[in-house]
Amino acid sequence: MARVQALYEDSAVPVREIARLCGVTERTLYRYVETGGWRRRYIVRPRGQAAAASNRGRRWQRASGLEPVTGAGGRFIARAEAERPAVHGLKALDPGARARAATSCAAAGSRAAKAWARADKRQVWEARIAAINAVSAAMAAYNRFRATRGTDRSPVARARDNGTEDLYLAQIEAALACVRKLRL
């Protein structure tokens, strides 16, 4: 009876479940509560027609401090254990599965780290290829410019050509700087 009383008073296990565990009906359990003077889970309003009229349509109210307390996996726990840290998640109530899940998570983390390293190397190689292609494109554009530039041009046109040539050379230098930066 002491264990049943503790379940009733100190946890949020449903009365139906407590009665099932004890092998009695809910009504019998409520009789034990009444005759034993156990602390009630709900506030009992005074009986009578006035009380019944004022309570019509209202739901039962939980007594203060007797709100349901749930732990990992939605299971009911004693109120004294409510402040303790509890494990959460799908494998919270199965220690073996929790250990296997932790192991597989660690393995997945190491595989992810290796994949990131491979991806970083691949990205560096792709950046090198892009930089080399940029140098090639800049050199090809510069060579086309040099081939189309005539020698018998006006001084204004030559000055403009010199400015354009400086831009091409700066572009080539920038692309070469990227290639040098991406060397191992």
Tens of pLDDT along 79-90? Answer: 777 777 766 655
What domain range includes position 41? 2-81
pLDDT in the model for residue 45: 56
**Side-chain half-sphere exposure of 164, counting CA atoms within 13 A:** 14
Let me know if 128 is exposed, middle or buried by CB neighbors in 10 A (0-12, 13-18, 19+). Answer: middle
- Indicate whether 108 belongs to any domain: yes
- Indicate whether 165 belongs to any domain: yes
103-114 mean pLDDT = 79
State whether 157 and 127 are in the same domain. Answer: yes
State whether 176 and 100 are in the same domain. Answer: yes
State whether 61 and 21 are in the same domain. Answer: yes
From CA 75, how far away is CA 135, in angstroms rounded? 66
pTM of the model: 0.36
State whether 102 and 169 are in the same domain. Answer: yes
pLDDT in the model for residue 116: 79
State whether 110 and 164 are in the same domain. Answer: yes
- Indicate whether 102 belongs to any domain: yes
State whether 9 and 60 are in the same domain. Answer: yes
Q: Give the tens place of pLDDT for each residue, 112-157.
A: 888 878 887 888 788 878 888 888 888 888 888 888 776 667 777 7
pLDDT in the model for residue 57: 66
pLDDT in the model for residue 84: 73
Q: Give the tens place of pLDDT for each residue, 17-34.
A: 888 888 888 898 888 888
- Indicate whether 90 belongs to any domain: no
Count of structural domains, the chain: 2
Distances (CA, A) of 84 to 1, 79, 89, 94, 148: 27, 10, 16, 18, 82
- Indicate whether 88 belongs to any domain: no
Q: Is 152 helix (H, G, I), strand (E, B) or coil?
A: coil
Q: Which helix (H) or strand (E) holds 104?
A: helix 95-148
- Indicate whether 89 belongs to any domain: no
State whether 106 and 63 are in the same domain. Answer: no
Q: What share of the chain is helix, strand, coil (3-state, %, to 5)?
A: 65, 5, 30
Beta bridge partners of 11: 78
